[in-house]
Amino acid sequence: MSEKLFKLKENKTTVRTEVIAGITTFMTMAYILAVNPNVLADGTGMDKAAILIATALASFIGSVLMAFLSNYPFALAPGMGLNAYFAGTVVAGMGIPWQTAMLAVFIEGIIFVILSITNIREAIFNSIPKNLKYAVSSGIGLFIALIGLLNAKILVQGSSSLLLRTFSENFHSATMGAIIALIGVIITSILLVFKVKGGILFGIIITWILGIIAELTGLYVPDAEIGMYSVIPTSVISFDLSSIGNTFGKVFTDSNISNIKIFDFIIVIFSFLFVDLFDTLGTLIGVSSKANMLDKDGKLPRIKGALLADSIATCVGAVLGTSTTTTFVESASGVTEGGRTGLTSVVTGLLFLIAIIFSPLFLSIPSFATAPALIIVGFYMIGNIAKIDFDDMSEAIPAFLCIIAMPFAYSISEGISIGVISYVLINLCTGKIKEKKINVIMYILTILFILKYIFL
């Protein structure tokens, strides 16, 4: 059945490889089960338990859709950044009720479905030059590594120095977590040097075990005030699913736009639309480049199915009660482990479904345990930088700007924006337009990006 559905031999993979890849992807994404409920609940007042269930269900449905509509090893979940914008800017900042904000997400998803069916999103993907696609992949590598460093508190936002530099005078749990994460990077690297199958997954598990040992021996003391929680599961199973009723379907029953300025509502929809569109395209470009899935023209076969899965998942997520569901860049961890088909996505999706019942167990996986995986995946993805033509400055400079913008701006979509704008303007001003045969969509994107910076 697996061979018939996912064409494993054609993609030069096995069931074992795909299962390990799916588990690895889930382990690097599992933090979303803890983070998304906190982000949304803190900013909106939504029920945290309901958000966790909605997050898991949206991830399951989105990942399975990706598997059967495209047969690609990409997993989906409510997107980071998009959830913060939903809670902090739209609900808390603009005073829009969360049910109405969820309606904006649902409408955005419907627009995405239309754009996917009419090939507009596919055309945008195909219009981006090869060197810029390699840059997107490399930039995402740095972005993923940065997420890992921040998650493990190896780097601290707003600080110019490593947390570890001051551990001798200010030793606490965050420092211990950072140390364990660095040890995890070394352990994972050793496993990969010896070509251990599933090395990244084993690295996560071993790092988690080290965290448990550190907590049992008193070296690591949970401290909720600095975001360091117990890594020892207090329970394994939870069967209370009733809370989902606090968010499910509220997008239709409780949303009300009569007291909201229609222009503000439209701005919210298009803000979600813009970020989701280019985060998704960036992730597809980056992960598919890493897996050598792009054809000789830099196009991704079956991309329509992937984009459609992403669009439908956003609509489903809004109905369940979570912000925009999107293709996760952490899918690169499973690809790095050899995942090449939708079976990887199915495994990841099923683990999200199981996580609803085993949520206490999965929620105890600390961010410092998954950080080594993200850092190593970043290393793998930065390798695409070698494919960029650095002899042609009109190609190399926009690629460089795209790469550095992603981690520095902490946004995949910002990196794409800066890359596209600089690529078109540099080639336009140097008279290389005819030589490069730049797609007309690139001009349109440049204008839209500039307008975005002016008005949004």
**450 band by pLDDT with thresholds 50, 70 and 90:** very high
Residue 160 has pLDDT above 60, yes or no: no
The yes-or-no verdict on residue 130 having pLDDT over 80 is yes
Residue 325 bridge partners (DSSP): 78
How high does pLDDT run on average in the chain? 87
225-248 average pLDDT score: 84
Binned at pLDDT 50, 70 and 90, residue 208 comes out as very high
Burial of 451 (0-12, 13-18, 19+ CB in 10 A): exposed
Q: Is the pLDDT of residue 137 over 90?
A: no
Q: What is the helix, strand, coil percentage profile of the chain, to 5? A: 70, 0, 30
Query: How many other C-beta atoms can be found within 10 angstroms of the C-beta atom of residue 17?
Result: 22
pLDDT at 35: 77
Give the mean pLDDT of 182-203: 90
> Do 314 and 324 contact (CB within 8 A), yes or no?
yes
Higher pLDDT, 43 or 36: 36
Greatest CA span in the chain, whole angstroms?
67
Cα dihedral sign, 167-170-176-178: negative
Examine the pLDDT at 211 and tell me if it is beyond 60. Answer: yes
Query: In this predicted structure, what is the pLDDT of residue 75?
Result: 96
pTM over 0.85: no
For residue 358, the 8-state DSSP code is S
pLDDT at 274 over 80: no
Q: Which residue type does 394 have?
A: S
pLDDT exceeds cutoff 60 at 37? yes
Q: List C-alpha distances in Å: 419 to 86, 194, 356, 403, 453.
A: 26, 37, 40, 8, 14
Q: How far apart are CA 187 and CA 1, in angstroms?
A: 36
Residues 17-26 pLDDT 10s: 999 999 999 9
230 phi, psi to nearest 5 deg: -60, 140
Higher pLDDT, 316 or 242: 316
Per-residue pLDDT reduced to its tens digit, 331-360: 989 998 999 999 999 999 999 999 998 877
Query: Mean pLDDT over residues 307-318, rounded?
Result: 95
Q: Say if residues 22 and 348 touch (Cβ distance below 8 Å).
A: yes
